[in-house]
Structure 1
Amino acid sequence: MDSKHLTHMIERHETVVDTLQVAPEHVCHIAFGIDNTYARGMGITLFSLLENNPGISFHIHLFTTGLNDSNRKKLLTLTARRSIALSFHIYNSSYFDRMPSTGRYAKTIYYRLFMPLLLREMTSRFIYLDADILCVGSIEPLLALAFDDKTICAVNDNKHARNRLCSELNLASGNYFNSGFLYINIPQWLERNTTERLISTLEAKGDSFRFPDQDVLNLVLENEVRLLPKKYNFIYDIIAKKVNYRPDIPEDTVLIHFTGKCKPWHLWASSPLADLYYSYYQRTPWQTQPLDTPVRHKEMKRYAYVLWFQKRYSYSLLWLMKYIKNKFFHAGAAK
């Protein structure tokens, strides 16, 4: 992709914090693609990463079309008194208008596809993380990891997703990785014109994809990915489990990824892993921001179950009534 396209894509780069005290080659680069909706989640991900990796110097890259003053101030508070760099890369939102959209996914899902082009002058590798991930261990082993001539490292999705998506996308390998964690080899990405291949495939087939960014990455990079152990992207869908379900988390887990519609910052997310997430949440600048309350009737029903399990029976019945009213007596209510 030539410089003309890059100039149209990005409005500006802005490094707002740089207190790094090490040489550039000893810095771990982490990238997020967010908007204001996911700024809080990204903040908790970042905090957990810093807390569990005190010996690593980080350069954090936020790719966005803009964050409000409140979230920017919270990020500055979070990074204060640390050896760290924090950079904003402001996209031109109109550039992504041509990308296919589907369901609940915002255009931010495509931000990761252009990151290697914009970070190539700073580093040869970086880790991309979704903003619904919690770090609970050390990422240090990743820093010396060999890519083995692969373009990326990633982690296979769960068995159910692999069975369904491999068939839909005709992936002969039988592998389908989750794109919430990507470790990207920039020189190989550039040499193989990866962004161009991804965009070309999206333009040709994107409207048929179930998960546009993830599907296209798997389709194009099927034979260019080194698969890592699931400890680097332990997938957990809260809403797919019963209230207070206790998952068996391997002791060596490093990154927990809260996939699905229900996120750990939702009141109806009751689960031991959501409680773990909240223990980090309470130590961040976002601690004063309350958890999201239910809006849709399915969320109300789940929250009623949560309250009943917590023996808060009167509140449980109240939310059960809200659920019934919203589902059966509100024409056109959100489903």
Structure 2
Amino acid sequence: MRQSHAYDSLPQSEPLLAESGMTTGIASATPTEADYLTNQRQVAQLLTQLNQVVLDKPRVVKLALSCVLAGGHLLLQDLPGMGKTTLAQGLAQLLGLTFNRVQFTNDMLPADILGMNIYDQAKLGFEFRKGPIFTQLLLADEINRSSPKTQSALLEAMEERQVSQDGQTYRLPKPFFVIATQNPMQQAGVYPLPESQLDRFLMCLSLGYPSPAAERALLQGQDRRELLASLDAVLDTEAVLLAQQGVQQVYVADVVLDYLQRLVAKTRISQEYHGLSPRGVLSLQRAAQAYAYVSGHQEVSPEDIQAVFAAVADHRLGQRFIPTHAVSGQAALSIAQRIMAEVSVII
């Protein structure tokens, strides 16, 4: 999907067991430019419908969709009742993927998510009963209310897209996403997510309070649960996979990579936090490509980098939840926002 570049003028065991019944790839024919353009129009339609469900949060909604189309996992962090679960369920409904929801609690065990081997008397042997993680989109609701042991059960699945149990490895469906919600650490009964877990999430987003106009629309409008139930899927498995391929085709000019690397380098000179790892850098590039794709563009601009930088970087830099002020609607600048203010696009 390469075209003329607007910024060229700037300075420079047993075998894996496939999940039966799941589509594992798009048609063998190589997608054309027209296929990608059609797919982008479908993505734009999905974005419009999702904004009708989650009111007054176009930036967060667009970032959430970009995260999923980049093939990444999404962490939604905010106070209870702010619409985190509504956003996750709306995405699942409109993407047309198989969907499971797990409510995390402090007494949950890893087997409750992954599954376990059950003895089958008829077969005189053990049979693996798959847990709810064997789906295309898993909503891990209030993930930080479970113990660290249960949280760690997701690590292999989120990174390798597979589950290992008793010497066997089971491949998860394709595509596979985790959308997790968590309450702020100031809340009672929560466990902090370890850095290794946070790094598995491509983005971390917060919704914040609605505007007075959006809140009035919520009060006078249709119940969100009824609205979610009435949604029809805009994409399906093949369309999501095609969008992921399209994201990879979005061109990133050298001058834009220069800007990205300057931002990353700025994160690595602080004594207050560890800088972005190479995996974080790759995540930043992929997120920017996805944001450009969702915007209908064929190449990444510095504005795309800026749009996703805080969502990709802050939780990796140790940024804690910054609540949005109920009156002003503003939050203090995050680490990533301060870095962007100090790094020039052009040098």
Give the TM interval when normalised to the shorter protein.
Answer: under 0.3
Higher RCO (C-alpha 8 Å, min separation 6): 2
**TM-score with structure 1 length normalisation?**
0.26
**TM-score with structure 2 length normalisation?**
0.26
**Structure showing the higher strand proportion among its residues:** 1
